[in-house]
Amino acid sequence: MLDKYSAPVAALVFTVLLTACGKEAPPPPKASVLPVSVVTIEPQKLTLSTQLTGRTAPLRIAEIRPQVNGLIQRRLFTEGSDVKAGQVLYQIDPAPFQAVLDTALAGLARAEASRHSIRSRAERAKALLAERAVSQQDYDDADAAIKQVDAEIASWKAQVQTARINLGYTQVTAPISGRIGKSGVTDGALVTAFQPMALATIQQLDPIYVDVTQSTSDLLRLRRRFETGDLQAKGTDLNKVNLILEDGSPYGQEGALQFRDVSVEPSTGSVTLRMVFPNPHGILLPEMFVRALIREGTNEQALCVPQQGVLRNAKGDPYAFVVNAENKVEMRMLTLEREVGDQWLVANGIKAGDKMIVEGVQTLQMLRPGTPVTVNATPFTPAPAAK
């Protein structure tokens, strides 16, 4: 009867005998192939936007100043209210100007009254000159008198017109419609014509301007992309602009890009972009900090990759792994252009149809170029790119 050690010893002896006879041991089992999830890169139409910071500015602004000297009798508006063009804001004491107008009217009436008799005298002198009943000098004097009184009448008419204009200036009116600020003077204040200090300021806030700055380097980059065909300026939507307020909330009204300035600010190397936004509820106030989302153009063949599939090497350069036709791993160095939602817009390094490996960071770091993998039956579906 064999003891408990007999079987292991017999097996060991059999293995040694096989080795001695030139027989090799069976190979070890193959390592398992790593399963991975992939996303197939497909081109898509993408409208690219950029976010620029800036401030709001009133559409029109008017500083109210008196055009005649005088004493403010009354302020006729409520500070901080909306006023209409032509609305009376201040009343300057009109009495001195009314007196000047009355004097001019009296002088005009006097000149017109004397003109009748002088004209009659000149006409009689002309008739008598033909009969040689008066001398040429008498006729010349009569003719000069009528011309002199006509000139005097014209002078008085001009003085009447000036007096009426100055009397009208005693009512200080709003040149534009808008919101008026605080008053710089009170009732009883003495003001002078075209004084440096404004009586009040009116700002038109609906619609309102938004001025943002864009670096010239970004402007040149966009121009090159249009020239190469990477971007296309199609459709009227490219002129539409959205706004983000200072607290991060979106502004409910959509604006329009009006123009790009042609001058570069030398201290910042940037140009100004001006947009116009409706402001019916007065949410936007002058000098408010905002961020504008501006549509740059449309990329008809944009390639976007999920961010979770992008790694970076020690130098910070981005790369990704793809599965080739032999189901082996290839490493691709990427040129990333910008972040689009939860994806990266890729400029170089990957092409349409590539199967990009999308796994957790730990799994991706285990992969090496040439490693055989198997693709999971359920493909990874990336989130749609943000417009």
Shared domain for 139 and 228, answered yes or no, is no
What is the edge-to-edge ordering of all strands in the sheet holding 70-75? 171-173, 88-92, 70-75, 190-191
- Same domain? For 371 and 337 the reply is yes
Please check whether residue 69 is in contact with residue 194, taking contact to mean a CB–CB distance below 8 angstroms: no
Residue 216 covered by a domain = yes
CA distance 296 to 234: 10
The number of distinct structural domains making up the chain is: 4
Low-confidence winner among 39-53, 110-124, 157-171 (lowest mean pLDDT): 110-124
What residue numbers bound the domain in which 104 lies? 95-168
pTM of the model: 0.64
pLDDT tens, position by position, 214-242: 887 777 776 766 666 655 555 546 678 88
Look at residue 280 and tell me if it is in a domain.
yes
Say yes or no: 288 and 330 in one domain: no
Q: Look at residue 5 and give its three-state secondary structure.
A: coil
Write down the residue that tokens 């293995």 correspond to.
15
Nearest 5 degrees, angle CA 130-CA 131-CA 133? 110
Q: Give 216-221 contacts, CB < 8 A, sequence gap 24+.
A: 216/264, 216/269, 216/270, 216/271, 217/269, 218/50, 219/260, 219/271
Closest CA to 167 of 100, 105, 107: 100
Question: Do residue 129 and residue 178 come from a single domain?
Answer: no
Q: Quick one: which of 91, 55, 108 has its CA closest to 245?
A: 55
Q: Kindly state whether residues 83 and 177 are assigned to the same domain.
A: yes
From residue 72, give the alpha-carbon distance in Å to each of 77, 171, 179, 185: 13, 10, 21, 8
Q: Mean pLDDT for the chain?
A: 80
Say how far apart CA 375 and CA 81 lie, in whole Å. Answer: 68
Query: Distance of alpha carbon 301 from its chain centroid, rounded?
Result: 28
CATH number, domain at 210? Answer: 2.40.30.170
* Percent of the chain residues topping a pLDDT of 70: 76
Tell me: do 254 and 348 sit in the same domain: no
Q: What is the CATH number of the domain that holds 138?
A: 1.10.287
CA atoms of 257 and 295, how far apart (whole Å): 10
Per-residue pLDDT of 121-166, as tens digits, reads 666 666 555 666 566 666 666 667 778 888 888 999 999 999 999 9
Same domain, 87 and 177: yes
